[in-house]
Amino acid sequence: MIEIYKEQPVGFIGLGVMGQGMAQCLLRQGWQLQVFARRDDAARAVVQAGARRAESPAALAQACRLVFLCLSDDAAVEQVLFGDAGLAQALARGSVVVDTSTIAATSARAFAERLAAQGIAFLDAPISGGQQGAETGTLACMVGGPAEAVEALRAVMGAFCKSITHVGAVGAGQTVKACNQVAVAGALLGVADAIALARSQGVDPRVMREVLLASTGRSFVLEKHGQRVIDGNYEPGFRARLMRKDLRIALETARSGGAQLQGAPVAERLVNELCESGRGELDWAALGLLVQEKGG
């Protein structure tokens, strides 16, 4: 199994909101980093911080035996892996690709099978914790793949993760991430309803929130997103259009396994309505805004 040392270059592809923070964490921890980005502005900050920029995924793969991906969707991951000048064209046998993107479990398993034919390991390792977690290195990561590979990479992944949990075979990471998104969406709907109920009865929602935080209604969503909804602060940390994508992945995953989810379809419908109203770039906590609007 691969052994990674700080003297060896690590690859990173996907320098968006999350990837920027994760890449900077790796650099701050002393890892040698090579990156690929199509846009100059996406690569500028990490290059200034000490990363080297590759001309293509294949060029990056020639120098790195470990590559992290943090991309927008299944199609983007497939293109970077198997498209023109993709990673698969140049990665050496024994290399590892760690995909921190949120994609379908079925896609993760298909990508892993194709790479395995070339002697390359693939871990699906979606993350949770938002932009702040990426920047501070406190993300939670749920990893699917061989246990020995997960253990071998704990040190390097620890640069941007506070929690790394091996949850099963390839695809299990994406399944657990889907479970997370279903649970957090349901929680936000409950919080938004509670705020709407308080306001309808002339109760200060700030006071209501403080009471619930000291009672059985306490939750991370109430603590973080509840304050956002009350303040009307929807500056994006995790955009509504990305939550819509994640919920659709969760619903498709449920259908493929015969599960009939009840709350997630409601959340997906409302997040879709938010996006279709031109507010897909707002933080997904704006779901609470939509609930307030529907209540008049």
Active-site annotation holder among 6, 162, 177, 224: 177
Length in residues, the chain: 296
DSSP codes, the chain: -----TTSEEEEE--SHHHHHHHHHHHHTT-EEEEE-SSHHHHHHHHHTTPEEPSSHHHHHHH-SEEEE--SSHHHHHHHHHSTT-GGGTPPTT-EEEE-S---HHHHHHHHHHHHTTT-EEEE--EESHHHHHHHT-EEEEEES-HHHHHHTHHHHTTTEEEEEEEESTTHHHHHHHHHHHHHHHHHHHHHHHHHHHHHTT--HHHHHHHHHTSTT--HHHHHHHHHHHHT----SSBHHHHHHHHHHHHHHHHHHT---SHHHHHHHHHHHHIIIIITTSBGGGHHHHHHHHT-
Residue 224 is among the residues annotated as catalytic for this protein: no
- Catalytic amino acids? 177
